[in-house]
Amino acid sequence: MLFIKASQAMKIVTKDGKRAEIVLAKLQHSLLGPYSKVQNIRQMATRSVEEMRRTQRANGPATILGIGTATPSNYILQAEYPEYYFRITRSEHMTQLKQKFKRICKSSTIKKRHFYLNEANLKENPNLCEYMAPSLDTRREMIAKEVPRLGMEAAVKAIQEWGQPKSKITHIVFCTIAGMELPGFDYQLINQLGLDPSVKRVMLYQHGCFGGSTVLRIAKDLAENNKGARVLVVCSEITVSIFRGPSHTHMDSLVVQSLFGDGAAAVIVGSDPETSIERPLFELVSAAETILPPSPDHEGCSFAGGVGEDGLTVDLPRNVPLSISNNIEKCLEEAFTPLGITDWNSIFWIAHPGGPAILDHIDSKLGLKEERLRATRKVLSEYGNIISSTVLFILDEMRNKSIEEGKVTTGEGLAWGVLFGFGPGLTVETLVLHSLPI
């Protein structure tokens, strides 16, 4: 329509070329002028948004600035656990199953585990000691008190090591498989710590053993995309939801009773640390997640669980260690090819110790030196599998041992490292870490 009007004007004034030019110029100005102004406004707005996004983002990678851990004071030596377990569950008549459980506990490589559940509260709640007895309400009441309490203890320690006012915390990420409440444990932690009500929250339930790596991945994204952000990450796990008496028909449950323990861990994550008042420990360089294909002899998920009136039950197929070891090198290659790293003994290792068989398969598949999984095996030995908290306990163990032995970096003297989370699905989370000078 604009071009028709312009051409008609040209025809009208074809005998006077100069007049035609003037008319055409006026038409262009009157018709295109408003459009040009709109375009200019849009360009200015786009530039403003882009500038705003640049100023909102951090310059450097997310960094761990403090670590804290906590466990219940009650603990049981693994060598004594079979006698305790079969006595407290009134199952001593299952003599053959008890002998089998002793062998399972001995092969676990675990020395001790911490528990909220003790002889006193189990005697008060005998339904927890039966196999598959309705007990969800009892379990929920215990979880609602102990999960935030243990998480609070770890969080306070992490904040103390960080050394900054808690008013600087901008985000919270809380993870547990133990149970759920409304509002969540993240909400409770904000109130317990006395944080500003504007602190942004993320609550993760039922991620299981890969949850510790998931919270670090989320914290990395939050810190790097919100300039000045300081993220409090908390994993709090107790075995109240999975404790039950033995059964001849469910051997997976017996394995579960031999592996898992209670504990909470917290870290502070932030980018662009103020090195005069903050001490960076590890940089979170990259993060990836993948679901492994099921093995040919197992339909659907290779590792699953569910909550019922009897608590949380877990299915632990024997193929899990093999599935992980068969796929772990591909995960490593995808993560470290951009860095030109192909020697898996040249990096430090933090691998979720779902059990000793998983670690043994990884060792065998990759030909790792004994010291590469030292920190991982140490935490498994001292605490058992503490679900999402475990990898954060290993981070703490590694940096402490590195300081104790006079290493040059927090990662056992090495520059680059990997943190693996393995859990339901079968899900694998892979984080590339960069250690920092001690």
**Three-class SS state of 33:** helix
Measured distance CA(259)–CA(257) in Å, rounded? 6
* Strand extents, DSSP E, 240-398: 263-271, 282-291, 304-308, 311-315, 348-351
> Do 49 and 209 meet the contact criterion of CB atoms below 8 Å apart?
no
Residue 50's Cβ-count burial label (10 Å; 0-12, 13-18, 19+) is exposed
Q: Are strands 282-291 and 62-70 parallel, antiparallel or unpaired?
A: antiparallel
| Ramachandran bin of 225, using left for φ above 0, alpha for ψ from -120 to 50, beta for the remaining angles | alpha
Break the chain down into helix, strand, coil percent, rounded to 5. Answer: 50, 20, 30
Catalytic (active-site) positions: 209
Pairwise CA distance, residues 194 & 151, whole Å: 14
Which residues, 6+ apart, have CB-to-CB distance to 387 below 8 Å?
177, 208, 209, 211, 212, 235, 237, 260
User: How far lies 211's CA from each of 62, 278, 311, in Å?
Assistant: 18, 26, 20
Query: Nearest-CA neighbor of 213 among 435, 433, 437, 402?
Result: 433
Nearest-angstrom CA–CA distance, 320 and 385: 15
Taking the C-alpha atoms of 353, 357, 361 and 362 in order, what is their torsion angle to the nearest 10 degrees?
A: 10
Question: 411 near 282, Cβ under 8 Å?
Answer: yes
Which contiguous run of DSSP H or E holds residue 181? none
